Amino acid sequence: MRPPLTDSFDRHIESVRVSITDRCNFRCKYCMPAEGLPWLQRTEVLSFEEIERLATILASMGVSHVRLTGGEPLVRRDVPDLIERLVKVPGLKDLALTTNGVALRTLAGPLVDAGLRRINVSLDSLDHSRFAEITRRDMLDRVLEGLEEAERYPELRPIKVNCVAMRGFTEPEVIAFAELARRKPYTVRFIEFMPLDADRTWRKEDVLTGAEIRAMIETVYPLVRVPAAASSTAERWAFADGTGEMGFINPVSEPFCSSCDRIRITAEGSLRTCLFSMEETDLRTPLRSGATDLEIEMLIRQAVQAKRMKHQIGEAGFVRSARSMSQIGG
Ligand code: SAM
Ligand code: SF4
């Protein structure tokens, strides 16, 4: 085992989000423009072998949690093969996937067979026309069928449903989402809208905070706080009657940067140490030009040393990254 991966604020990096494609079959308004984005060429995207090698180098430094994301990770072919490779990486304890859920109807089984045990499904509305409005795709039923399929595999738990909370859009469905968390074996979590939309329409006023949503839920269903792991991004709240759990991810109103243990790798193999980084470290060139594992490890350590203390969303001087969430890997 190599020395742990730490930054200059003594935060230990234990978690990596790996984007496996920048492409997506949705066009969520808070993420992508209606016409899509200039996609990467296939050769620009890291291969499964390259992802496995990076995961192995990272795991040797104590990065034990890997989450696959995108774009939409399940538009890439053969994702179960990648899962199969990653579950065998020594030191990797936790492998998860974030998806819009459309492909789960057919892929939940193969993903579980390959070794996937945790999944997050994004779902911003339970109403057909509002779902189509926000994702620009009329596919609510496919996502709900995908969730039902995921439910059939008891080894795939927890199933988390993530909803981006936007003022002026989300309020009418807050109680319906709470009821989904009570009715189904899903932890439903609200994520505050962040300035990572390709359309660049984000305004601070559009952020519906976790505290506001919790207050709405508590007028109907009282909640009690559940202790969460120190590095967890989500506040956990259980329904007081013991039926189900909600989560609140509040990066704008209550930043959790001081306990951040995360880095990200984009689909083209650049390391980002913060969602809002202005800098990236190219790992694909060394991967493809014969660098040793130790040389790649040193590049990663150097980048992580420069991880910034916090993002500054909503503060004077905040500068948006040129990349949207789908191009980074949320
Ligand atoms: N396509 C997959 C999905 O939607 O789950 C994975 C990639 S998506 C970029 C990962 C997560 O980022 C999703 O839960 C999505 O809702 C969230 N997201 C995208 N843009 C966001 C934004 N501007 N603010 C907050 N969350 C955002
Ligand atoms: Fe695609 Fe996920 Fe972005 Fe929606 S949030 S456009 S599903 S990458």
pLDDT tens digit string along 255-298?
Answer: 878 889 999 999 999 999 998 888 899 999 999 999 999 999 99
Distance between Cα 3 and ligand 1 center (Å): 32
Q: Helix, strand, or coil here: 171? A: helix
- Over the Cα atoms of the chain, what is R_g? 19
Pocket flag, ligand 1, residue 146 (CB < 6 Å)? no
pLDDT tens digit string along 58-106?
Answer: 999 999 999 999 999 999 999 999 999 999 999 999 999 999 999 999 9
Beta strand pairing call for 15-19 and 262-265: parallel
pTM of the complete model: 0.96
Residue 255 is predicted with a pLDDT of 84
Residue 316 is predicted with a pLDDT of 67
Q: Helix, strand, or coil here: 134? A: helix
Which ligand 1 atom minimizes the distance to the CA of 120?
A: 5
Banded pLDDT at 308 (limits 50, 70, 90): confident
Strand partners, 118: 96
Torsion of CA 22, 93, 181, 101, to 10 degrees: 30
Q: Give the C-alpha separation, 6 to 42, whole Å.
A: 33
Residue ranges of domains in the chain, CATH in brackets? 15-328 (3.20.20.70)
Q: Return the closest-CA partner of residue 148 out of 189, 196, 184, 181.
A: 184
Pocket flag, ligand 1, residue 273 (CB < 6 Å)? no
Which ligand 1 atom minimizes the distance to the CA of 329?
A: 9
Distance between Cα 311 and ligand 2 center (Å): 22
Residue 180 is predicted with a pLDDT of 98
Higher pLDDT residue, 329 or 69?
Answer: 69
Q: Give the C-alpha separation, 33 to 299, whole Å.
A: 33
Residue 228 is predicted with a pLDDT of 85
CB 32 within 8 Å of CB 326 = yes
